[in-house]
């Protein structure tokens, strides 16, 4: 009997197991326009346009192992961004395996990130002057070219240097610096620092700071008190001494709130940035960059979500990295423009 069982087992191992490829569904062919937008955050025409830009990066050179078509790869990635769901759930919806979803998300995210220089650009020349006017119309704060802040993107705890990624609120994250214009468009970002790193250090070591220091950019940034006060980076007074300083603070707050609203719009469109990224820590910056590229892509296409968001209340922090030249420039600026 034992010999028979062993022979039977050998026969089973010799038999070829046919690989079963589940039916793959193209949602663009079966869902309505509104359903597609709800699930993938873009209208069908925008999805097709986006696919045209990254098609070559997604197309497989061979048909071995039944690779995912580029459209399905893009759709499973967009749904991951739009939901933050487990790969297994997304795979079941589209009729693909969990491992296929993982590969598709990784590959498509990289392809979207390759569009970064096209969609995330700091304004110059005529574009910069137009932005100065748009910001001025909000609260009469002159010469503003952007508002800056950092946002925490929740991630799963890494295996290495785990404590570096614990932010001041007690969860694992990366701290992403962003700058936006007066229309919620993100014009600059840095997505590489652990959650424990302070906003002031991220800015101080950024390429954007270097350009301002070298006089390559004409205009002012507005930041909160967690940023260093500089001649080109205006921050609020913690204790106002004059009526001009009070008016300065009011104008700065009304203008700077745009970056908080931008974070709200971005994270509402791509909830994976709020719920927590189910990717490796090294992949989290790429996913964040891809979502920002898609945010700006949607604005260029006129394919945007409702922009109305609540204005968050944030108490002032203690000033950091105090620079006397910056403080003097702020005093002169407030006395000159808000007297």
pLDDT above 70 for 299:
yes
> How is 290-331 classified by DSSP, letter by letter?
HHHHHHHHHHHHT------------PPPPP-S--HHHHHHHH
Looking at per-residue pLDDT, the higher value among 317 and 275 belongs to 275
Q: Classify strands 220-222 and 144-154 as parallel, antiparallel or unpaired.
A: parallel
Q: Classify strands 186-194 and 144-154 as parallel, antiparallel or unpaired.
A: unpaired
SS3 (DSSP) at 252: helix
User: pLDDT exceeding 90 applies to what percent of the chain?
Assistant: 74
What pLDDT does 61 receive? 64
CA atoms within 13 A on the CB side of 319: 16
* Cβ atoms of residues 150 and 183 within 8 Å: no
Q: What is the 3-state secondary structure (H, E, C) of 137-185?
A: HHHCCCCEEEEEEEEEEEECCCCCCHHHHECCCCCEEEEEEEEECCCCC
User: Which is nearest to 48 in space by CA: 18, 75, 67, 25?
Assistant: 75
In this prediction, residue 160 has a pLDDT band, given cuts at 50, 70 and 90, of confident
In this prediction, residue 60 has a pLDDT band, given cuts at 50, 70 and 90, of confident
CA distances 25 to 42, 57, 95, 292, Å, are: 18, 21, 6, 27
Cβ neighbours of residue 174 closer than 8 Å, sequence gap 6 or more: 152, 153, 155, 165, 191, 192, 193, 194, 195, 281, 284, 285, 288
> How is 47-73 classified by DSSP, letter by letter?
HHHHHHHHHHHHS-SS-TT-PPPHHHH
Residue range 266-288: mean pLDDT, rounded: 92
Spatial distance between the Cα atoms of 157 and 53, rounded to a whole number of angstroms: 34
> How is 67-110 classified by DSSP, letter by letter?
PPPHHHHHHHHHHHHHH---HHHHHHHHT--HHHHHHHHHHHHH
Q: What pTM was computed for the model?
A: 0.88
* Cβ atoms of residues 144 and 187 within 8 Å: no
> How is 13-41 classified by DSSP, letter by letter?
HHSPPPPP-PPP--GGGTS-HHHHHHHHS
In this prediction, residue 203 has a pLDDT band, given cuts at 50, 70 and 90, of very high
What pLDDT does 17 receive? 43
Instruction: List, in sequence order, every residue forming a beta bridge with 286; answer none if it has no partner.
Output: none
In this prediction, residue 2 has a pLDDT band, given cuts at 50, 70 and 90, of low
First to last CA, the chain: 100
In this prediction, residue 12 has a pLDDT band, given cuts at 50, 70 and 90, of low
Instruction: List, in sequence order, every residue forming a beta bridge with 172; answer none if it has no partner.
Output: 166
Q: Where are the domains of the chain?
A: 2-114, 121-337
In this prediction, residue 29 has a pLDDT band, given cuts at 50, 70 and 90, of confident
In this prediction, residue 253 has a pLDDT band, given cuts at 50, 70 and 90, of very high
Cβ neighbours of residue 196 closer than 8 Å, sequence gap 6 or more: 163, 164, 165, 166, 167, 168, 175
Cβ neighbours of residue 112 closer than 8 Å, sequence gap 6 or more: 50, 54, 77, 290, 293, 294
pLDDT above 50 for 311:
no
């Amino acid at each position: 009997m034992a010999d028979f069982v062993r022979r039977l087992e050998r026969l089973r191992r010799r038999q070829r197991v046919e690989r079963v490829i589940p039916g793959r569904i193209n949602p663009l062919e079966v869902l309505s326009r509104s359903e597609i937008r709800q699930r993938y955050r873009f209208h069908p025409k925008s999805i097709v346009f986006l696919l045209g830009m990254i098609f070559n990066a997604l197309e497989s050179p061979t048909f071995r192992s039944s690779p995912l078509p580029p459209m399905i790869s893009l759709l499973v990635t967009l749904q991951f961004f739009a939901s933050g769901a487990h790969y297994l759930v997304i795979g079941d919806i589209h009729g693909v395996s969990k491992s296929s979803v993982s590969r598709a998300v990784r590959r498509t995210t990289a392809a979207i990130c390759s569009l970064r220089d096209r969609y995330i650009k700091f304004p110059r020349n005529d574009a910069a002057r137009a932005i100065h006017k748009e910001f001025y119309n909000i609260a009469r704060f002159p010469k503003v070219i952007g508002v800056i802040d950092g946002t925490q993107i929740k991630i799963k705890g890494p295996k290495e240097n785990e404590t570096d990624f614990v932010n001041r609120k007690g969860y694992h994250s990366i701290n992403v610096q962003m700058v936006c214009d007066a229309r919620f468009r993100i014009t600059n970002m840095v997505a590489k620092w652990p959650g424990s790193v302070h906003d002031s250090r991220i800015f101080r070591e950024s390429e954007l700071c270097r350009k301002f220091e070298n006089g390559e950019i004409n205009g002012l940034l507005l930041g909160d008190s967690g940023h260093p006060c500089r001649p080109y980076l205006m921050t609020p007074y913690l204790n106002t001494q004059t009526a001009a300083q009070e008016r300065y603070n009011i104008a700065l707050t009304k203008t700077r709130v745009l970056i908080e609203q931008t974070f709200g719009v971005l994270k509402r469109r791509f909830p994976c940035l709020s719920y927590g990224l189910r990717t490796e820590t090294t992949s989290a910056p790429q996913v964040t960059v891809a979502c920002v590229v898609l945010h700006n892509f949607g604005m260029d296409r006129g394919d945007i979500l409702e922009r109305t968001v609540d204005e968050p209340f944030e108490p002032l922090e203690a000033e950091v990295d105090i620079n006397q030249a910056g403080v003097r420039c702020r005093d002169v600026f407030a006395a000159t423009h808000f007297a």
